[in-house]
Structure 1
Amino acid sequence: MDWILLRGLTREQAHWGDFPQRLQLVFPEHRFHPVDLPGTGVHCRDDSPDTIVGIREAVRRQVAHIPKPFSILALSMGGMVALDWAQHAPEGEIQHLVLINTSSGFSPFWQRMRPGVWPQLVRLLARRELFDRERDLLRLTSNRVPPLELIKQWYRIQRQRPVSVRNAGRQIAAAARFKPTPKRPMPEALLLASRGDRMVHWKCSAVLEERWLWTLKLHPDAGHDLVIDDPDWIVRQLLAWLSR
């Protein structure tokens, strides 16, 4: 089985760290494809669409070569893209859907982004000192003390493939306006959320669980970037869900 991995706001495939390799060790028969959203990573010089629909279409063009059906595992804004994709995909195109700490227009705005985070995030993304910015982004999205080497790694990513302030703003606009259609896109999906998420309230995932009767698993204390805070927990939840 092929899996598409989508990261969140202004993040690219390198921000997964060794998570794809962890998945590969546990699921050796599967293939994992981290894909950059437009305006990030290998596409950092491209303009990002300012709608989730536009971002989704750009990503679909990137993965046209991947055999179908495939599955999607997506974090944060990547989860919005994945959810929109699942609602508009031809029948049978997407086999499994895993959404991590995502949100949608089904939730109130003060849960989709905690009060005070939006201006803080905008200030951070516009900051000129890259090392301090990446350090503070990690402190915002992770509930663990970020190792110096991880801060340096994120700094190097931004130096090599910078996300422009304009593209960051267009991604923020896309995320803020996103509201799925009422249609349940799939009979089942896995929702993973963090009770300790200081950016997006875990109830945003609970809304999707209640609306479409999907499976929700809650981490007790991780932050928004669950991939950094407890990647092994994600792998365990995925293993248990797929083996049912």
Structure 2
Amino acid sequence: MRWILLRGLAREQAHWGAFRQQLATAFPGHQFHTADLPGTGVHFKEASPTTIADIRACVQRQVQHIPRPYGLIALSLGGMVALDWAQQAQEGEIQQLVLINTSSGFSPPWQRMKPTAWPQLLRLLVRRELFHRESDILALSSNRPVAVQTAKQWYSIQRQRPVTATNALRQIAAAARFRPASRRPLPDALLLASQQDRLVDWRCSRALERRWQWTLKVHPDAGHDLPLDDADWVIRQLRGFCLE
């Protein structure tokens, strides 16, 4: 299986850190590819579209050289892109779907972004000192002690391929208006959620589970960046669900 990995708001493929290699080591028979949302990563000079559908179309163009079918592993905003992709895909194009701490218009706004997170997020978007900003983003999205080395890596990413506040706001606008179609795109999908996520309420994943009878696994204490906080747990869930 060829897998496409998608990150979330104002993050790029480099923010997966060691997780891609951990996946490749755990599942040697599979291939794991990363793609950047427009406005991030190798596409940081582009303007981000303001709809999930247009973001999804940009991602599809990026990976068109990779033979189908695909599995999708996607975090947060990337999960919305992946869900839209699965709903619009040709039959058989998407065979596995793994959504991590994502949300949709099926949940109320105060669950899609917790009210306590909004002031912190807006302050981060306009903060100029990059190292402290990236450290604060880590502190908000992770429930583990912030490793200085990780903060340095994220600082280096932002220095090399900066995501502008404008593009972050355009991504937020796309996320806010996203509502999936009513049609279930796959008979089953794996939903991974963090019960202690301080950005997105885990019940957004439960809403998808209940609507489409998908498989939900909830981590008791990890943060929004679940692959960063507990990659081993994520890999165990993948192994049990679709990568045995």
TM-score range, shorter chain: over 0.9
Shift of 1:50: 0.7
CA contact (8 A) 2:80 2:104 kept: yes
Q: Deviations over 1:174-211 (max 9, x none)?
A: 11111101110111100000001011010000000000
Given the two structures, how large is their TM-score scaled by the length of structure 2?
0.98
Which residue in the other structure is 1:87 paired with? 87
Normalising to structure 1: TM-score of the pair?
Answer: 0.98
Q: How many residues align?
A: 244
Does the alignment pair 1:170 with 2:193? no
Measured after TM superposition, the shift of residue 242 of structure 1 is: 1.5
Deviates more, 1:122-131 or 1:71-80: 122-131
Shift of 1:160: 0.4
Alpha-carbon distance in structure 2 between the residues aligned to 1:239 and 1:23: 10
* Amino acid corresponding to residue 183 of structure 2 in structure 1: K
- Aligned-partner residue type, residue 125 of structure 2: L
Following superposition of structure 1 onto structure 2, how do residues 17-36 of structure 1 map, counting pairs within 5 Å? 17-36=17-36
**SS in structure 1 at match of 2:227:** helix
* Shift, 1:117, TM fit: 1.4
Amino acid at match of 2:90: P
Work out the percentage of aligned pairs sharing the same amino acid: 66
Alignment pair present for 1:203 and 2:195: no
**Equivalent position of 1:150 in the other structure:** 150
> What aligned pairs does 1:1-244 form with structure 2 within 5 A after superposition?
1-242=1-242
**Residue 243 (structure 1) shift:** 5.0
CA RMSD of aligned residues (A): 0.8
Shift of 1:26: 1.0
Tell me if the contact between 2:39 and 2:46 (Cα under 8 Å) persists in the aligned partners.
Answer: yes
Name which of structure 1's ranges 87-96 and 110-119 shifts more when overlaid on structure 2: 110-119
CA distance in 2 between partners of 1:168 and 1:208 (Å): 25
State the distance in 1 between where 2:146 and 2:32 align.
Answer: 26
Structure 1 Cα separation of the partners of residues 53 and 165 of structure 2? 21
Please give the per-residue CA displacement for 1:152-175, whole angstroms capped at 9, x wherever unaligned.
110000000000111111001011
1:202-232: CA deviation from partner (whole Å, max 9, x where unpaired): 0000000000000000001000000111011
1:239 CA displacement: 0.4
CA distance in structure 2 between the partners assigned to 1:170 and 1:204 by the alignment:
22
Ranges in structure 2 where 5+ consecutive residues have no aligned partner: none
Q: Distance in 2 between matches of 1:64 and 1:92?
A: 15
